[in-house]
Amino acid sequence: MPSILVTGCAGFIGSHLCQRLLSDGHRVVGLDNFDPFYDRTLKLANLAPLLSHPHFSFHEVELRHGAEALADALPADPIDVVVHLAAKAGVSPSVRQPIAYLENNVLGTTQLLEWMRQRDIKKLFFASSSSVYGNTPERPFREDMNLLATCISPYAASKLAGEQLTYTYHHLYQLDVLNARFFTVYGPRQRPDLAIHKFVRLLRAGQPIPVFGDGTTARDYTFVLDTVDGIARGVQYLLDHENVYETLNLGNNRPVPLLELIEEVGKAVGITPQLEFLPMQAGDVDITYADISKAQRLLGYQPRTSLADGLRQFVQWLAETHQAQLL
């Protein structure tokens, strides 16, 4: 039974991934530091269904504390593949707190890589971001594009630095790596700071939805279980192949303009949105648009969830979560 280490296991994507890996027959070792970016109780709720599974174990660890902290937490756990999802997230907050983002995302990743080198763990799935493409004019975004001067936020820079680090460890220490650039993941358990979550709360409170810019900015929204399917396929690819270093887009291959998204959120909630137009936020890009042909070719990746269906599932989850909190 392969053993998979998942960092950031209590988060939005991480908790869904752990459930998928367990259902695929893997043993899962989960790490999380419960970063205070949002409420710890939400992450504990994500984690709760996993804790009773006989093939899941959890450790609260701060990656920035170094290989020693990881060694203390995981002295004997056999690990076949590491899935590194843990990161300080969000573009706009990174503009306000660049040092915190670089410390968490670059130093934390380096410490994890060092621990892997010391433990002779040879396979890594690294979660990068579509933000590394910045405002690259050529679209859709391909993995072979020159990204020398594209990052326009500290968050984006931290993710591109992570990719550079994984290549260094591949080159020097023969680490097998899949870097996956995620494109605006949404769905049940989504972080409360993200746009769709905010929009639903504002609609239900009878408040206007802020529109940063003129509403034509667009994102390649990808349903969380489609992203998770790509990660699970990537894990299997790493298990099946040697001498791997690849970078892949895990997106939906369809940018949705902001005004269209707001309209679809309104339909899912059953409320007509009122809009408040505001200036663009620093660090935001105009569009994200994934060329997913490489992931399709290597992994058989194919997102299947429509925006309308994904939003319906999110709204249903949020309503059920709210009702549970009232009981």
Pair of tokens at residue 73:
């937490």
Give per-residue pLDDT as tens, 264-311: 999 999 999 999 999 999 889 999 999 999 999 999 999 999 999 999
Rounded to an integer, the average pLDDT of 41-61 is 96
CB atoms within 10 A of CB 23: 10
Give per-residue pLDDT as tens, 158-196: 999 999 999 999 999 999 999 999 999 999 999 998 999
Residues recognised as catalytic: 155
pLDDT of 145 over the 50 cut: yes
- Phi, psi dihedrals of residue 288, rounded to the nearest 5°: -125, 140
**Pairing label, strands 218-219, 256-257:** antiparallel
What pLDDT is recorded for position 322? 65
Domain boundaries, the chain: 3-183+223-251+291-304
What pLDDT is recorded for position 303? 98
Superfamily for the 3-183+223-251+291-304 domain:
NAD(P)-binding Rossmann-like Domain (3.40.50.720)
User: What's the rounded Cα separation, in Å, for the pair 164 and 225?
Assistant: 27
β partners of residue 290:
141
> Across 50-143, where does the E strand assignment appear?
56-60, 81-84, 123-129
Instruction: Give the pLDDT band (50/70/90) at residue 327.
Output: very low
User: What's the rounded Cα separation, in Å, for the pair 299 and 203?
Assistant: 38
Instruction: Give the pLDDT band (50/70/90) at residue 326.
Output: very low
pLDDT of 90 over the 70 cut: yes
Instruction: Give the pLDDT band (50/70/90) at residue 27.
Output: very high
Pair of tokens at residue 6:
């998942």
β partners of residue 221:
none
What pLDDT is recorded for position 95? 95
Distance of CA 61 to the CA centre of its chain: 19
What pLDDT is recorded for position 279? 93
The three-point CA angle 142-95-203 to 5° equals 85
Give per-residue pLDDT as tens, 211-253: 999 999 999 999 999 999 999 999 999 999 999 999 999 999 9
What pLDDT is recorded for position 77? 78
* Higher pLDDT among residues 35 and 293, named by residue: 293
